[in-house]
Amino acid sequence: MSVLPFLNWLGSSALANAMNGPEWAFPVVECFHFFGFALLIGTIAIVDLRLLGGGMRRQSPAELTQDLKPWTLSGLALMLTTGPAMFAADPKVYYFNPSFRFKIACLLVAILYHFTVLRRAVKPDVPPVVGKLAAVISLALWIAVVGGGRMIAFV
């Protein structure tokens, strides 16, 4: 089964028409994408920085994860709605863009990593060095996602 019929269908869907309609539609949706990643990556960074021994040191990593969870998830939800909408604006161009593929690969790993490894790394019985390593990998993954996204327009 080929993915091309799906891309063609998506590219002529009502969503694609809306995104390609008024000139401001795409940049405005993109800004909400930015708001989403500031929430998502900002709240994850607070936890990662804490694991590295900086930022909110009076709280434990587990407490911060719990405190910020609703906002991390809101950010993720905003990203995962605005992102596909932007994809729909020009599905074939994105699908064949190497930077886009890199970004999506990093994103899948980053999400999976976040809900498996990082969720465990914040627990109090984890040795600090393991927590630090987990935080560095988390930051690197999210930086790769943003960097890959930025490069889409340049490759």
Distance of closest approach, residue 22 Cβ to other proteins, in angstroms: 11
Kindly compute the dihedral angle of the four CA atoms of residues 91, 38, 115, 129, in this order, to the nearest 10 degrees. 130
**Contacting residues for 33 by C-beta, under 8 A, at least 6 apart:** 78, 79, 82, 83, 86
Instruction: From 119, 110, 99, select the one nearest 76 (Cα to Cα).
Output: 110
Cβ atoms 119, 25 nearer than 8 A: no
Distance of closest approach, residue 69 Cβ to other proteins, in angstroms: 9
Distance of closest approach, residue 101 Cβ to other proteins, in angstroms: 17
| Closer to other proteins by Cβ: residue 6 or 34 | 34
Distance of closest approach, residue 5 Cβ to other proteins, in angstroms: 32
Cβ atoms 43, 72 nearer than 8 A: yes
Where does this chain bind other proteins (CB under 8 A)?
23-24, 27-28, 30-31, 34-35, 37-39, 41-43, 45-46, 49, 54-59, 67-68, 70-71, 143, 146-147, 149-151, 153-154
| Closer to other proteins by Cβ: residue 7 or 68 | 68
